[in-house]
Structure 1
Amino acid sequence: MGQKIEFMVVDDHPLFRQGLVSVIENYERYKVIGEANTIDEAIKIVDAHPPQILLVDISLHHENGLELVKIVHSTHPTTFQLVVSMYDEIIYASNALKAGAQGYVMKQEAPETLMQAIETVLNGKIYLSQSMHERLLASLISQDTKKPQVDPITQLSVRELEVFRLIGQGFGVSEIASALNLSGKTINVYRDNIRHKLSITDAGALRKFAIKWMQSREM
């Protein structure tokens, strides 16, 4: 048997991470050579022994996993990266690809879908769900129209979207700051950035818009 394809798994939920390792190592030609739950841990392992493919979550103990994707893409460009996350693909997939990932798969997908995503990425192709492929195609087509329909939420960075979601869940500045381990001043900066990007005049209007948007996602 030939040399095994080496994986690394980065996720801050131990049970999910262990389950992911188990699914991967059910295949004889795959081997997990490292696990991490923070960006610093992951970088140390990757620098010491770069895997052929890195599976990474977006949320890592209040850190942004896409920052890890950017770093690895810059320092180890031959390492494939697949984002495996609970966060909505429609919102985050584009940012993941821009950061340097080769694919995006939701955590709730079946193991068979995950393995299909892994195989696709290892073959040098981009993996997205069928619905996301169709959405991107529709977006490309809409560029030829006079007024393409673009969801303004896609303008937000990953951290801005986290703040926006928490606003939509009814949390105040101090609560959001505590949840994200940031200062209230920093949250206010993010909130102002969000308002400008969404062309919303004040914090009250932003709160109403965020709550309405969150409710629409739950339908």
Structure 2
Amino acid sequence: MSNINVLLVDDHVVIREALANLLNENEEISVVAQANNIQKALHDVRVFPIDVAIVDLSLGQQNGLDLVRSITEIYPLVKCLVFSMYPEALYAERSLRAGAKGYVMKSESPDVLISAIKKVYADEIALSRLMTKALISSHSSEIFAPVTTSFSLQSLGDRELEILLLVGKGNLTKEIAQRLNLSVKTVDAVRQKLKVKLGLGSASDLVKFAIEYANSINT
């Protein structure tokens, strides 16, 4: 196998440096660039000979899925691998739809990440066995169900899930609108849709649900 040139995209410099040191110990992998946001990442993909972009979903005020979509559209030869703390059961399929070739949770061992890098470089899909089984099964609703509720979050769109998480982190409607470059009216409309889809009766119920969801990700 030829050397795999990797771009690391994560908004935490300590994580990037530690990950770069780890990956560079593998003789088949070279970290040739690092970025902390979408703009820097797209610049690096244009300037450096990148084979695999390892992308975190949370990039400060930005969403890693937007970067995956841009790389896939503009630089189709670059393979994207999502590396995130968010639950694979909720975000892996969304990442694949955005154009990623694989999904690895940050709780996995380094060997799992290295194996995934090699798989996506070879144009293979890199997911856990459980996630692979879920995707090929026609009876996967129980696998996708979150531990915090009996309602499935799989019915939510990417933007709806993003806003739900921001609500759970304590952001007000105006703050969410500014962060996502949306109108307050649009965010309010999404919050109403969330209540309907999740079977919640009031705004306070939505906030409680969102906090529980956000805490389940951060634990």
- TM-score (ref. length: structure 1): 0.81
Deviation per CA, 1:3-22, whole angstroms, max 9, x where unpaired? 52211111100011111111
- Matches of 1:74 and 1:199 in 2, distance apart? 36
Structure 1 stretch displaced more, 160-169 or 171-180: 171-180
In structure 2, the residue matched to 1:153 is 153
Rounded to whole Å, the distance in 2 between the matches of 1:19 and 1:141 is 39
What CA distance in whole angstroms lies between the structure 2 residues aligned with 1:215 and 1:12? 20
Aligned partner of residue 108 in structure 1, secondary structure: coil
Q: Give, in whole Å, the separation in 1 of the partners of 2:16 and 2:197.
A: 35
Q: Is 1:29 aligned with 2:28? A: yes
Q: Displacement, 1:117?
A: 1.1
Partners of 2:67 and 2:217 in 1: how far apart? 28
Aligned-residue offset at 1:109: 1.1
Partner of 1:118: 117
CA distance in structure 1 between the aligned counterparts of 2:217 and 2:11, rounded to whole angstroms: 25
Structure 1 residues 211 and 56: CA distance shift in structure 2, 3 A: closer
CA-to-aligned-CA distance 1:30-75 (integer Å, 9 cap, x gap): 2122111010111111122341111010011110011000011011
Alpha-carbon distance change, 191 to 137 in structure 1, aligned in 2, over 3 angstroms? same
User: 2:101, 2:120 within 8 Å by CA — same for their partners in 1?
Assistant: yes
* Equivalent position of 2:191 in the other structure: 191
Normalising by structure 2, report the TM-score. 0.81
Question: What do you get for the CA RMSD once the two structures are aligned?
Answer: 3.0
Alpha-carbon contact 1:173-1:187 (below 8 Å) kept = no
Contact 2:37-2:62 within 8 A present in 1 as well: yes
**Residue 203 of structure 2 aligns with which residue?**
203
- 2:73 maps to what in 1? 74
On the 8 A contact 1:70/1:99 being kept in 2, the answer is: yes
- Aligned pair in 2 of structure 1 residues 216, 96: CA closer, same or farther (>3 Å)? closer
How far is the alpha carbon of 1:26 from its aligned partner?
0.6
- Secondary structure at the aligned position of 1:132 is classed as helix
Corresponding residue SS for 1:6: strand
2:163 is the counterpart of 1:163? yes
How many pairs does the alignment contain? Answer: 211
Identify if the C-alpha distance between structure 1 residues 218 and 72 changes in structure 2 by more than 3 Å, giving closer, same or farther. Answer: closer
What is residue 53 of structure 2 aligned with on the other side? Answer: 54
What is the percent sequence identity of the aligned residues? 34
Deviation digits for residues 91-142 of structure 1 (CA, Å, limit 9, x no counterpart): 111110000000000112111111111122122211111222232234x246
For 2:212 and 2:180, locate their aligned partners in 1 and report how far apart those are by CA, in whole Å: 26
C-alpha change, 1:217 and 1:86, in structure 2 (3 Å) is closer
CA distance in 2, matches of 1:41, 1:85: 19
Contact 1:88/1:106 (CA < 8 Å) preserved in 2?
yes
